[in-house]
């Protein structure tokens, strides 16, 4: 993910306490940071981190105790899923439909062949990729209420491209219920702003320049009560013989997308939409991705191609703070 500079500086009169109350932890296979600007109650952060862990035990594909792991290792074609799982599956299937399968939550057989976190640059065997491509097809999932039916025993699910957004939205709900009205939730670069700064000004969210140092931004956005999510080719990736291999896989080929894009950023009210759409719009490519973003109310997008040309959807530039 490509977000930095998340408005944590404090100016005169900015905060109701001297410094924001912040907590970081390594959860969801990333660094989770929650910052409160209008509360000094640390028990709220305890509850938020606990909620993160609860959701990790629902949506993780690798934790053997998780609900998703048990679904993927099912012994029956039909399983009953929790309300949270049903909600996220429904949202994931929505983006599978919108992209006509360019985004596919049944990518798990292919995504498990690739390892972008080990530090080792290894391309899976072509024969393994070819064998797993036919297993990926979201049409093999039928969700009805809390009943999930698999039409193929080979179908398994990976929610990594959309789960963090859903979790961020649930944490925001929890914070609002606790009386917090000014906060930033950062789940490994998935940034969700709760309200505005206590002085009524906007949070400043920096968009990281691709392949640059983390503190080097190409735009700064002024955000109130919105989510900012980026999908790019330079976070989880490795390079072999001058070619970059990244984690956004094409279900049709089993290899990373190579469509001329290096990042897509989405602004949305709900982070689950930003999470799903950043991957979906990236997968569709510049033309179709922009077309999809422009067709959706309350969605704003920024695309960067491999020549570092920047393209904005309708209304996106209104959020840019002029430097």
- Give the position of tokens 């982070």: 271
Asked if 178 contacts 47 with a C-beta cutoff of 8 angstroms, the reply is: yes
pLDDT at residue number 173: 98
Task: Please give the pLDDT value at position 1.
Answer: 33
Map residue 155 onto helix, strand or coil. Answer: coil
Pairing type for strands 190-195 and 227-232 reads antiparallel
Strands 227-232, 217-223: pairing kind: unpaired
> What tokens appear for 236 in the block?
């989880």
> What are the chain's domains?
3-54+162-319 (3.10.520.10), 66-150 (1.10.3980.10)
Tokens of 180: 């917090």
What is the pLDDT, as a whole number, of residue 313? Answer: 98
**Rounded Cα distance, 63 and 59, in Å:** 9
User: In 3D, which of 89, 85, 72 has the Cα closest to residue 152?
Assistant: 72
Average pLDDT, the chain: 91
Percent of the chain with pLDDT over 90: 80
Q: What is the pLDDT of residues 259-292, one digit of tens each?
A: 999 999 999 999 999 999 999 999 999 999 999 9
Q: Is the pLDDT of residue 2 over 80?
A: no
Separation of alpha carbons 185 and 193, rounded Å: 6
pLDDT in tens, 41-53: 999 999 999 999 9
Residue 143: name the closest of 100, 60, 86, 71 by CA. 86
**pLDDT value for 279:** 95
Residues 6+ apart with CB under 8 A from 76: none
C-beta of residue 218 within 8 angstroms of C-beta of residue 310: yes
Report the pLDDT value the prediction gives residue 116, as an integer from 0 to 100. Answer: 75
């Amino acid at each position: 993910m490509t977000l930095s500079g998340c408005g944590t500086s404090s100016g005169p009169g900015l905060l109701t306490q001297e410094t924001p109350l912040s907590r970081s932890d390594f959860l969801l296979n990333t660094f989770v940071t929650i910052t409160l600007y209008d509360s000094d109650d640390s028990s709220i952060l305890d509850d938020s981190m606990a909620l993160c862990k609860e959701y990790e035990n629902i949506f993780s594909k690798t934790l053997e105790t998780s609900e998703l792991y048990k679904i993927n290792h099912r012994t029956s074609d039909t399983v009953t899923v929790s309300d949270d799982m049903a909600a996220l599956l429904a949202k994931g299937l929505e983006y599978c439909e919108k992209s006509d399968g360019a985004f596919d939550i049944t990518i798990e057989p292919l995504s498990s062949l690739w390892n972008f976190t080990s530090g080792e640059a290894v391309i899976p065997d072509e024969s393994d990729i070819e064998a797993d491509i036919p297993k990926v097809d979201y049409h093999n999932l039928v969700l009805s209420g809390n009943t999930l039916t698999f039409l193929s025993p080979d179908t398994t699910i990976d929610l990594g491209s959309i789960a963090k957004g859903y979790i961020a939205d649930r944490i925001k709900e929890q914070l609002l219920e606790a009386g917090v009205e000014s906060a930033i939730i950062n789940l490994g670069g998935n940034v969700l702003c709760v309200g505005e700064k206590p002085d009524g000004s906007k949070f400043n969210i920096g968009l990281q320049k691709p392949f640059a140092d983390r503190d080097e931004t190409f735009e700064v956005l002024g955000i109130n009560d919105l989510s900012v999510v980026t999908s790019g080719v330079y976070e989880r990736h490795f390079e072999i013989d001058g070619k970059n291999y990244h984690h956004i896989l094409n279900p049709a080929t089993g290899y990373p997308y190579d469509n001329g894009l290096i990042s897509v950023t989405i602004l949305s009210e709900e982070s689950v939409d930003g999470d799903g759409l950043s991957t979906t719009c990236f997968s569709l490519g510049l033309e179709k991705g922009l077309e999809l973003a422009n067709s959706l109310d309350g969605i704003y997008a920024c695309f960067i191609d491999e020549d570092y040309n920047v393209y904005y959807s309708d209304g996106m530039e209104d959020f840019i703070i002029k430097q």
